[in-house]
């Protein structure tokens, strides 16, 4: 398929720049690819769409304050986005600079911290910290790494709202945004209504925002992300499948981790990495329902949704959402696709 097959026109005013007042205030588009039915509901209706036989799976990764601002010793300004912390002193990062980036260049971040650019690794740079640790550096100097389509600096509110209430394992440089809609009260309701839920961890990388540059999407090379499937989650998945319930992924990150974890009908647990590219034609092995936000044009995440709901039906959902003025992207509204589509569009 061609990259233009996944393009759509979105008015800028529909890109959410701030979260709504409370988690759970968003709208929810509910879509069923079998019946072709689309409903406009509220997030608070989600619980009514889930059965006690189902299993809801969340991503409990925690966003780190991965964006840093500094200057070269020569005075030029520089912006760093930490992609992966290797150890206390070394990390891989994306670097933005108005001029060419030279190796062994020193970057001043504050009176206490200085970095050196060691070498280039594909589209990332290996950087080394002269003293202290990256945990200390990010805690003192880091900024919440809001995505590029949020056209403002990060604010105090983002420390809480660009993080899920169940965030636990540090390592993401972007939030698993589908999870942002859920509050602590929702988990109390799950308990009261005997709704089963569990967690995986996938550390979302900056590659999630990288556009597909290849005209032929089959030539696109996916970025790698690290994830972990606990034994407890595997047991709950097997029990749910045995009892005829649905596996509902809260977000594309959960779906990618689950689909990457299964090989020859066996779920592998533990720490793993994936560069799976889910696009139309993919045959889903585990996931039966997807709760997700709206995704960027020409993005691999839109391709994933197109694979799950069917290409033509996904176009219909997005056209409907734009017409009904849904809020798009990280701080925007959500959709719930109730079942995967078994025929190819």
Quick one: pLDDT at residue 87? 94
Quick one: pLDDT at residue 70? 93
The candidate with the shortest Cα–Cα distance to 237, out of 56, 66, 70, is 56
Quick one: pLDDT at residue 223? 80
CA distances from 203 to 24, 84, 168, 236 (A): 23, 9, 11, 22
Q: Contact at 8 Å (CB) between 304 and 286?
A: no
CA distances from 21 to 143, 144, 167, 224, 331 (A): 22, 19, 20, 34, 11
pLDDT tens-digit readout, 264-308: 889 999 999 999 999 999 999 999 999 999 999 999 999 999 999
192 pLDDT above the threshold of 60? yes
pLDDT tens-digit readout, 155-180: 999 999 999 999 999 999 999 999 99
Q: Find the farthest-apart pair of alpha carbons in the chain and give their distance in angstroms, rounded.
A: 65
Q: Please tell me whether residue 252 adopts helix, strand or coil conformation.
A: helix
Which residues partner with 127 through β-bridges? 91, 117
Mean pLDDT of the chain: 93
Burial of 146 (0-12, 13-18, 19+ CB in 10 A): buried
C-alpha to C-alpha distance for 91 and 84, rounded to whole angstroms: 6
Residue 315 burial (CB count, 10 A): 16
**Phi, psi of 92, rounded to the nearest 5 degrees:** -105, 140
Quick one: pLDDT at residue 224? 83
CA distances from 287 to 19, 116, 280, 309, 340 (A): 28, 43, 15, 12, 8
Q: In this prediction, what percent of the chain has a pLDDT beyond 70?
A: 98
**Phi, psi of 254, rounded to the nearest 5 degrees:** -65, -45
Residue 110 burial (CB count, 10 A): 12
pLDDT band at 98 (very low <50, low <70, confident <90, very high): confident
Quick one: pLDDT at residue 209? 67
233 pLDDT above the threshold of 90? yes
C-alpha to C-alpha distance for 179 and 162, rounded to whole angstroms: 10
The average pLDDT across 224-244 equals 96
C-alpha to C-alpha distance for 81 and 160, rounded to whole angstroms: 19
Quick one: pLDDT at residue 323? 98
Interaxial angle between packed helices 300-309 and 311-323, expressed in degrees from 0 to 180 and rounded to the nearest 10 = 110
Structure pTM?
A: 0.94
213 pLDDT above the threshold of 70? yes
258 pLDDT above the threshold of 50? yes
208 pLDDT above the threshold of 60? yes
Quick one: pLDDT at residue 102? 86
pLDDT tens-digit readout, 34-91: 999 999 999 999 999 999 999 999 999 999 999 999 998 888 899 999 999 999 999 9
343 pLDDT above the threshold of 70? no
């Amino acid at each position: 398929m061609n990259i233009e097959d996944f393009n759509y026109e979105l008015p800028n005013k529909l890109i959410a720049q701030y979260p709504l007042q409370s988690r759970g205030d968003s709208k929810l588009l509910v879509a069923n690819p079998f019946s072709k039915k689309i409903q406009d509901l509220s997030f608070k209706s989600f619980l009514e769409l889930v059965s006690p036989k189902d299993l809801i799976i969340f991503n409990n990764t925690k966003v780190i304050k991965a964006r840093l601002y500094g200057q070269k010793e020569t005075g030029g300004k520089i912006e760093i986005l930490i992609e992966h912390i290797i150890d206390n002193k070394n990390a891989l990062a994306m670097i933005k600079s108005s001029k060419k980036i030279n190796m062994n260049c020193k970057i001043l971040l504050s009176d206490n911290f200085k970095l050196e650019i060691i070498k280039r690794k594909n589209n990332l740079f290996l950087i080394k910290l002269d003293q202290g640790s990256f945990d200390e550096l990010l805690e003192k100097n880091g900024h919440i790494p809001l995505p590029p389509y949020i056209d403002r600096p990060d604010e105090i509110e983002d420390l809480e709202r660009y993080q899920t209430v169940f965030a636990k394992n540090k390592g993401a440089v972007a939030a698993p945004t589908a999870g942002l809609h859920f509050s602590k009260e929702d988990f109390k309701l799950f308990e009261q209504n005997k709704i089963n839920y569990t967690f995986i961890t996938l550390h979302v990388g900056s590659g999630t925002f990288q556009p597909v540059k290849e005209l032929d999407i089959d030539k696109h090379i996916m970025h790698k992300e690290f994830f972990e499937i606990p034994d407890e989650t595997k047991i709950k998945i097997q029990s749910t499948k045995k009892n005829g319930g649905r596996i509902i992924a809260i977000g594309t990150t959960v779906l990618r981790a689950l689909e990457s974890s299964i090989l020859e009908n066996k779920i592998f647990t533990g720490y793993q990495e994936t560069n799976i590219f889910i696009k139309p034609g993919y045959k889903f092995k585990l996931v039966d329902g997807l709760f997700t936000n709206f995704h960027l044009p020409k993005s691999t995440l839109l391709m994933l949704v197109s694979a799950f709901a069917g290409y033509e039906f996904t176009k219909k959902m997005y056209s409907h959402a734009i017409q009904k003025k849904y809020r798009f992207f990280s701080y925007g509204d959500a959709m719930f696709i109730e079942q995967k589509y078994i025929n190819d569009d």
